[in-house]
Structure 1
Amino acid sequence: MKVLVALILLVQLPIHKAVPAAPPGPLGCDDPESEAAAEFAVNYINNYSHHGYKFALNRIENVRVLPQGLNNEILFLELDLLETECHILNPTPLENCTVRSFTEHAVEGDCDVKLQNLDGKLSVLASKCHSHADSNEDIVRVCPDCPLLVNLNNTQVLTAVTAALNYHNSKTADAYLKLLEIGRARIQYEPVHLVFVEFAVAATNCSAEEAKDNVDACQLLPDSQSNFGFCTATMAIRPLQDLQVDCKLYGHQPGVIYQPGQDTSAGLLPSVVQGFTNHNLRLSHNNPVASESSSSEFPTSAVAAKSVVKRTVGEVAQHDKVARPVGFVPPPPPCPGRIHHFKI
């Protein structure tokens, strides 16, 4: 009898069963892990760009995750970037670089990046990028009088750059500067004819005074002493002629090396920009060290790994304001993600 009562009581007792924590759901474009991976990817892209300007994240278009095992996953990101005002040689951290405004004729970058997240550490396996300027029609529609980007080898542009650099060198007692590359050029025709140029420069082993005697003897400083800089200039052509120039040197930056496409000592432009309005963010890379990759174009040892903490179910539930069943994981935010600056 006692055995029967015990059995009846046992059946009536509630059964407590441990519910295993469900794994986090798929990543959304605005998820913190996606944002961290995108930030890492953008810094990588800027570190390996050799011409033009630094780019900042504008939007995550898409993110896909491919699990590879315990604490190992592959992330595929589609990123929209925007050109900043910082040249690639500028030591200013990206977070302090101003994104160029829409009316300055914005340039957009499109990148596909493949990363590995192994034990919370990110590494870039492959990346492919290109960039393009917004259409003239889009700019004129918003700002009819705004100057528009023109080809970097435009005759007026080359004249303005040459005049600006000659003017600076004639007014300084410091190092004689040589042109590295023209970064941007815009022309306004009405009501005043103006040419706006931006260009990267580097100090030589000559002073400006010494260069007057034999400019051909002036050579760029060796990598161990290199000193890069940047100039902006505005040349007024009509109704009055005028020239305003501002050049700044950044000082020596250990490890920073400029890689010209062709000889630019005489103001010649690298062939990659002939007939183009902006330096294309051409970056195509496969990590030769990673098992997920096959070809070798860029090493990755110079890029520091960044820790990424994956979401847990508890963290997700903590931010969920609505009461949910145990183990519920809300769906990720939709893709594409939020726009950080403006849409082109």
Structure 2
Amino acid sequence: MSVISDTAVAPARERRRSGRGVWYPYLLIAPTMITLLLVSLVPFVYAIYLSFHKAKYGRVGDFIGFDNYAKLLADPQFWNSLKVAGLFVGIAVPIEFMIGLGGALILNSGVRGRSVLVPLLFIPTMMAPVVVGLLWKIMLAGSWGLISYNLLERFGWLGDQSIFASPDLALYALMFVDIWQWSPFMMLAFFAGLQALPLGPYRAAAVDGASTLRVFFKITLPMMVPLLAVIGLLRLIDAFKVFDTIFILTGGGPGVATQSPSVLAYKMTFEFWNIGEASALAVLVWAAFFVFCNVFYQIAKKKLNAF
């Protein structure tokens, strides 16, 4: 017994003596941490630095304190962009959530052709946002788009202009595109969660004669809460900062009807070269989400046992 113990301990003792056992885990994660540091943390710290300086037309000027933040908070376009993002997130994400959960429950019920249907559901989510934007720009284009010509115009719902040129409908069209692309992702994520649930509680509920609705609200939903909370939070953050599809389909127009904070920051930087104010916008959005995510985490942890 002592021989086996000495044999097992010897390599570990040698690794500790050489120092490899201490530094080896850090060496493994070093490439990832260095990459994150260079492409994420350093640019963000520099953005904070720029937000406190007069940075315009590619030149960084004098320190001006909170002037960029004051100008931004007094800009009606900033508040309009928050309104656009709030409407986008408040309407699109709950619909995606409900479609995803409902579709996952249907898939989990043993629907026929599931082995073929599940891979097909991956297609919209796997498509690049730029490709999605170009696809729907063609589908809903003016008087010749496949959907706009055969459906919208034929039933008198839209005139000769594209739906993306309508100040009243453009944002809702963007929501529809986002729902089309990301509902399958929510569905597949929730379906994977349903497949991982233990069978014991369901067998006990079947013996007790519990109804389908009671099983869902008393067993399925409580066990799914951690996954629902995480996926919902990630999707909310992603929807708030959406840029690609808006930029391709409307460019933030018509006017500022679909101008999200991401599109506004892009225009400030690359059209007006107001880099200091754009950096202040980025910092404010980050700070707002930092607070929101911390509050969400604490509530989900204490009330829902999600983390």
State the TM-score bracket (shorter-chain normalisation). under 0.3
Greater fraction of residues in strand: 1
Greater fraction of residues in helix: 2
- Bigger relative contact order, structure 1 or 2 (CA pairs below 8 A, ≥6 apart): 2
If the length of structure 2 is used for normalisation, what is the TM-score? 0.22
